[in-house]
Amino acid sequence: MSDSVEILICAADAVADLGRGVRFPVTAGGEDATGFVVRYGGKVYGYLNRCAHVPIELDWNQGEFFESSKLYIMCSTHGAVYIPDNGQCAGGPCRGGRLRPIAVVEHDEHLYWQPDDYIRPARA
């Protein structure tokens, strides 16, 4: 899919640094799924909302991805922790895994995601 395709997620100010993330619908490998964006160190990062340990959604409550120290994204089910700026497993049962990145761009005060060969727009 062309890199020029951009799909609106939300207004840029809806995602505060170290705050709640925003979820959005996607199709991942042909299955309905969600992606999410968080802001860390002033930059926005997007990932498939699926733990590398067991393919379940990460957030505690909708949009709550950071653990209490705000240093890591954490799986609410088994406690796997991931480095926010690269998705790499930092501890717990994910053992060397990583979150599946989703390309995100920020411009004109909005956030957009870019589909690829695996992460596609949600089915209608």
What pLDDT is stored for residue 2 in this prediction? 47
Helix, strand or coil, per DSSP, at residue 67:
coil
Tokens of 60: 């505690």
Residue 1 lies in a domain: no
Residue 116 lies in a domain: yes
Residue 2 lies in a domain: no
pTM of the model: 0.94
Mean pLDDT of 1-16: 87
pLDDT digit string, tens, across residues 12-52: 999 999 999 999 999 999 999 999 999 999 999 999 999 99
CATH of the domain at 103: 2.102.10.10
CA distance 117 to 106: 21
Where do we find the tokens 């619908």?
Answer: 25
